Amino acid sequence: MSHVVEARDLAIGYPNRRVGAGISLGIGHGEALCLLGPNGSGKTTLFKTLLGLLPPLAGEVRVLDEPVADWSRAAFARKVGYVPQAHAGLFPFTVEDIVLMGRAARIERFAAPSRHDREIAADCLAALGVGHLRTRVYTEISGGERQLTLIARALAQEPALLVMDEPTASLDFGNQIRVLEHVGRLRGRGIAVLMSTHQPEHALRVADRIALLAPGRLAGLGAPAEVATPDALADLYGVDAAAIVASLPALSRLQPPEKHAS
């Protein structure tokens, strides 16, 4: 199976600080892979390496079978969209301005966005249920609305892969569900999704596969029922397995009942 993005025996980190090593994973077209890991396990560092923003310390990242270093930034942006954690921003751009930035790699270098680009921007906002924000000022909307705006911006790139760094972290309950539903819909359209989250139940809800990133290494990769076991999660987060089961009722629906007896 061909992969949208593939990491081969990857070592990640900074020249003076190695964060992780021996990481191998691949994401197929239309697949949703969720990355779980405690704070400081290197989720963002791994994403930056996969996105070509940080050179790998060892190993290789390939996007659509080409080494990531061989891609021009513009060509890469037409295939891979990145949703960072929402930030306040500095200059009072409108939400439409921000989403139109997602069209940058599809517009001639010095040209202005066309009506078609503006329509795509409006569609991406409407698809996330925030079409009404289009003319609002980005610095004045709520954190959740900003996050949805940044997702709309990445969608405006019309990517084959969406990399989302804790997309539900700053959202209220309704917006969390909305984003997760949308992740499901993206898979339906053949867009692969790689997202990190601190909430295992979100991963259980949308992921085709789950990856567990322990500090320094990949602790597990596979179908949710195989990987997200109470014992594995307890190991990953350094807490009691019974506490995991108590906090995550969704787990019991995945696990065969006899496993709980142990």
Applying CB under 8 A, the residues found at the interface with another protein are: 48, 51-53, 72-78, 80-82, 84, 87-94, 97-98, 101-102, 104-105, 107, 110, 112, 115, 118-120, 122-123, 125-127, 131, 139, 153, 157
CB 29, min distance to another protein, A: 18
Cβ distance to another protein smaller for residue 88 or 261: 88
Question: Judging by beta carbons within 10 Å of its beta carbon (0-12, 13-18, 19+), is residue 173 exposed, middle or buried?
Answer: exposed
Closer residue to another protein in complex, CB, 53/69: 53
Output the six-digit token pair for 83: 């949703």
* Number of Cβ within a 10 Å radius of residue 117: 19
Per DSSP, the three-state class of 216 is strand
How many Cα atoms are found within 13 Å in the side-chain-facing hemisphere of 233? 26
Q: Which residue has the tokens 């760094």?
A: 165
Q: How far is the CB of 92 from another protein (least distance, A)?
A: 5
Query: Between residues 43 and 209, which has the closer beta carbon with respect to another protein?
Result: 43
Work out how close the CB of 90 gets to another protein at its nearest, in angstroms, rounded to a whole number: 5
Q: Which residue in this structure is represented by tokens 């021009």?
A: 72
Closest CB to another protein among residues 6, 96: 96
In the complex, what is the shortest distance from the CB of residue 30 to another protein, in angstroms, rounded to a whole number? 16
CA–CA separation, 19 and 21 (whole Å): 7
User: Could you tell me how far CA 146 lies from the centroid of its own chain?
Assistant: 16
Residue 117: CB minimum distance to another protein, A: 11
Query: Closest approach of Cβ 199 to another protein, in Å?
Result: 24
DSSP 11: E
Pick 1 or 112: Cβ nearer another protein: 112
Q: What is the smallest separation between the CB atom of 161 and another protein, expressed in angstroms? A: 11
At a CB cut-off of 8 Å and minimum separation 6, what does 53 contact? Answer: none
Instruction: Please give the helix or strand (H or E) that residue 36 lies within, else none.
Output: strand 32-36
Nearer Cβ to another protein (125/212)? 125
Q: How far is CA 23 from CA 3, 45, 57, 80, 202, in A?
A: 16, 12, 11, 20, 23
Residues 6+ away with beta carbon under 8 Å from 82: 47, 51, 154, 162, 163, 165
Residue (10 or 162) nearer to another protein, CB: 162
